[in-house]
Amino acid sequence: MASANNHVGFEDQTLRDGLQSEARRFSLPEKKHLIGRLANAGLKRIQVGSFVHPRRVPQMADTDELVRSLEPPEGVVFSGLVLNAHGLERALACGLSDVALSASVSDSHSRRNANQNAAAAVDAVAGLIREAVQAGMAVRGGLQCVFGCVYEGAIDPDRVLAAAEKLAAAGARAINLADTTGMAHPRQVADMCARLFRELPDIGLILHLHDTRGLGLANMLAGFEAGVRSFDVCTGGLGGCPFVRGAAGNVPTEDAAHAFEAMGVPTGIDLAALVKVVDDLERLLERRLPGRMAAVLRAAAQKTGACGVRTDD
């Protein structure tokens, strides 16, 4: 359902979408430290990992152990990404209560990512959504490559609608539309969201946007104008799909928070605290990340004296 609320919620996916595309393997204590910092910065939903085959995505091999070792702070939800039946078993076994169950609407991407065509993958995920709902889990359904695929080009919106209907019929109350390849443009996002809100009026939408072509934040704002109030983000602008050629990062959490706060839309994010997460990530990865606001806030902090008084503008 389209929301008229003047408030947005973010799910930070640095630990999953962010770290899955990094060669550096983060240790369990490093992951826990980042999760603590994100919660301190006001993130109310944090995707802590995925339950995928450790040979395909070794960075996520310790997700079970990580979930078992975490105690969510009051009001914070930890979620995990599940793509198949074994992944759902693992999520249930380690006591995770909130899962994203996702399939691709592109045949080529689905074959690379899930070894089956899109129709089969969507049916399989719908079956898993039924199971997860019956097991009492909170479930977000998800569709990947909604706005285009680098391997097969445009994706027919009718195909997206049919897949969304299947996930909704299986019990998903919210559906995540992922621009996995960063091919969306703002008008396309607005049209797709408006159509889904119209055809599936009881279903919430979440947007997961990659900034591959520099349109991530513009697409997010187009989704907001269409009534979407939930967005996936990655601190520093990390992220990318290991199975998409040339994939780039997600919309940076700090840039999204700044954009909405500047427009008077509350996000609950403490930007100064979030910059500390960017500091940590840049130190561990030994490079600058693409997000813009960390540099802006660091420069502003340098201009401010130790007593907190600005010395110039």
Task: Please report, as ranges, the residues that interact with Zn ion according to CB under 5 A.
Answer: 17
The answer to whether the beta carbons of residues 21 and 241 sit under 8 Å apart is yes
- As measured in angstroms, the least distance from the Cβ of 312 to Zn ion is 40
Residue 149 pairs in a beta bridge with 153
The nearer residue to Zn ion, 177 or 196, going by C-beta atoms, is 177
The nearer residue to Zn ion, 17 or 254, going by C-beta atoms, is 17
- How far is it, in rounded angstroms, from Cα 127 to Cα 113? 18
The nearer residue to Zn ion, 92 or 118, going by C-beta atoms, is 118
The residue number with the shortest CB distance to Zn ion is 17
Nearest alpha-carbon partner for 183 in 245, 230, 122, 231: 245
- As measured in angstroms, the least distance from the Cβ of 141 to Zn ion is 15
Q: Which residue is catalytic, options 149, 234, 241, 307?
A: 241
The SS3 assignment for 82 reads strand
Token pair 């969306």 in the structure block, residue: 184
Going by C-beta distance under 8 Å and a sequence separation of 6 or more, which residues neighbour residue 313?
A: 303
| Farthest-apart Cα atoms in the chain, separation | 62
The answer to whether the beta carbons of residues 109 and 149 sit under 8 Å apart is yes
The nearer residue to Zn ion, 83 or 92, going by C-beta atoms, is 83
Nearest alpha-carbon partner for 83 in 108, 46, 120: 120
Cα distance from N-terminal residue to C-terminal residue, the chain: 43
The answer to whether the beta carbons of residues 1 and 197 sit under 8 Å apart is yes
Q: CA-CA distances (angstroms) from residue 198 to 120, 241, 252? A: 26, 30, 29
The answer to whether the beta carbons of residues 93 and 223 sit under 8 Å apart is no
- As measured in angstroms, the least distance from the Cβ of 144 to Zn ion is 8
- As measured in angstroms, the least distance from the Cβ of 129 to Zn ion is 19
The nearer residue to Zn ion, 92 or 146, going by C-beta atoms, is 146
The nearer residue to Zn ion, 92 or 110, going by C-beta atoms, is 110
Q: Is 149 a catalytic residue?
A: no
DSSP state for residue 15 in the 8-state scheme? I
The letter for the amino acid at 282 is: E
- As measured in angstroms, the least distance from the Cβ of 16 to Zn ion is 8
Question: What are the residue numbers of the active site?
Answer: 241
